[in-house]
């Protein structure tokens, strides 16, 4: 009897005739407390809950800059609570921490003013599990948003392997000056455009952005079904093309001739008359001068090569601006293009008829 009791105490689950409760449930032994996913080691020792962290569902933030993320107001107020309290006492709004906490908890309008101030230059870390490589955790400058979901820049989704079908992400707050500096210099999303594994760009437009950029750089000539306005016209400068397009003198997909800065094989930039399309002229307004004129139909692969070239020629800061510009243009043109499938566009296989 004593031996059975000792066996049950150490490992009750291995016994055939396990000691059970009145509800016919096996009693939890010492080994049960330690082992498995819910055991002491994996639950409490290896995975700890930390202060200054939060978690929420992610949604797309199409208007964010590459270095920004949208942080829900209530979440930010809780994360930055000690910083808000300190600022309140410094300003002489309150005398004690207790009274400051009350003001923060009741979400006084003053709290949001102070919070906006506190957020300046204080990045947060965003992490999506599983963190399989270095870019699974990146830092962003938080921007206060309404609602309860974290807003994520569409271009960083590839690095996080994130999509917006209910994924959740964790937020962590760096506290020390060294931690904040490291987050701003090493971990900022705008500084991690290249994949550390192979050096190729990882912040590459996808989905609607690629569709919009493909649409704007596509060319079309007059045929039986449609007359293309302004075809084969010549222009002195890209500015002239933009004016003509805004005044509806030329179509977006019209093939035209225009004087632009073209990069030669030896790397020099020469201003010469080039066969191109109106859409490509509009796209090249975003491209840094050092890269030259990009005169091709854009696909996801060609965009990856162009981004790599921009990073090589101009550096990270200018590349981040370029990425934000093409993101805006891609979304805008995908919307304006209004792509939809016509029933006549769909070819029905012969087998279907039989």
Question: pLDDT tens string for the chain (354 positions)?
Answer: 898 888 888 888 777 677 777 777 788 889 989 988 888 998 888 878 899 999 999 999 999 999 999 999 999 999 999 999 999 999 998 999 999 999 999 988 999 999 999 999 999 999 999 999 999 999 999 999 999 999 999 999 999 999 999 999 999 999 999 999 999 999 999 999 999 999 999 999 999 999 999 999 999 888 888 888 888 889 999 999 999 999 989 999 999 999 999 888 887 888 889 999 999 999 999 999 999 999 999 999 999 999 999 999 999 999 999 999 999 999 999 999 988 888 888 888 888 776
- Specify the CATH class of 208-337 in words: mainly alpha
Name the burial class of residue 163, with classes exposed (0-12), middle (13-18) and buried (19+) by CB atoms within 10 angstroms of its CB.
exposed
The CA distances from residue 187 to 67, 184, 324, 325, in Å, are 10, 6, 18, 22
Could you state, in order of their start, the residue ranges of all structural domains in the chain? Answer: 53-80+122-191, 208-337
Name the burial class of residue 192, with classes exposed (0-12), middle (13-18) and buried (19+) by CB atoms within 10 angstroms of its CB.
buried
pLDDT tens digits, 142-177 = 999 999 999 999 999 999 999 999 999 999 999 999
Candidates 3.40.50.620, 2.40.40.20, 3.30.470.30, 3.30.420.240; correct CATH number of 53-80+122-191? 2.40.40.20
The residue among 163, 201, 205 whose CA lies nearest residue 327 is 205
Task: Find tokens 């965003």 and name the residue.
Answer: 126
Q: Which residues contact 58 (CB under 8 A, 6 or more apart)?
A: 128, 149, 150, 151, 152, 162, 164, 167, 168, 169
């Amino acid at each position: 009897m004593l031996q059975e009791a000792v066996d049950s105490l150490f490992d009750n689950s291995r016994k055939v005739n396990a000691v059970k409760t009145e509800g016919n449930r096996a009693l939890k032994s010492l080994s049960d407390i330690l082992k498995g996913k819910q055991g002491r080691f994996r639950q409490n020792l290896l995975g700890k809950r930390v202060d200054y962290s939060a978690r929420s569902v992610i949604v797309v933030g199409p208007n964010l800059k590459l270095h920004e993320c949208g942080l829900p107001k209530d979440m930010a107020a809780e994360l930055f609570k000690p910083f808000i309290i300190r600022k309140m006492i410094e300003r002489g709004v309150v005398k004690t921490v207790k009274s400051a906490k009350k003001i923060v908890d009741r979400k006084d309008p003053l709290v949001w003013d102070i919070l906006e101030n506190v957020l300046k230059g204080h990045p947060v870390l965003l992490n999506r599990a599983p963190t399989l490589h270095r870019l699974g955790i990146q830092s962003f400058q938080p921007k206060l948003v309404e609602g309860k979901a974290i807003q994520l820049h569409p271009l960083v989704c590839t690095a996080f392997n994130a999509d917006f079908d209910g994924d959740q992400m964790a937020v962590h707050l760096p506290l020390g000056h060294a931690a904040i500096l490291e987050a701003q210099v090493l971990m900022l999303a705008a500084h991690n455009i290249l994949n550390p594994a192979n050096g190729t760009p990882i912040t590459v437009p996808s989905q609607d952005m690629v569709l919009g950029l493909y649409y704007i750089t596509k060319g079309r000539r007059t045929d039986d079904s449609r007359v293309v306005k302004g075809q084969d016209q010549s222009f002195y400068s890209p500015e002239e093309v933009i004016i003509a397009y805004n005044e509806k003198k030329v179509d977006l997909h019209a093939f035209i001739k225009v004087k632009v800065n073209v990069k030669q094989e030896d790397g020099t930039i020469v201003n010469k008359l080039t066969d191109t399309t109106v859409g490509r002229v509009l796209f090249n307004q975003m491209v840094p001068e050092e890269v030259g004129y990009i005169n091709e139909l854009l696909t996801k692969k060609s965009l990856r090569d162009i981004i790599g070239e921009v990073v090589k020629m101009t550096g990270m800061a200018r590349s981040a601006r370029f990425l934000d510009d093409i993101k805006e243009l891609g979304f805008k043109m995908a919307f304006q293009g209004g792509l939809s499938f016509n029933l006549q566009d769909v070819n029905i296989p012969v087998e279907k008829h039989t």
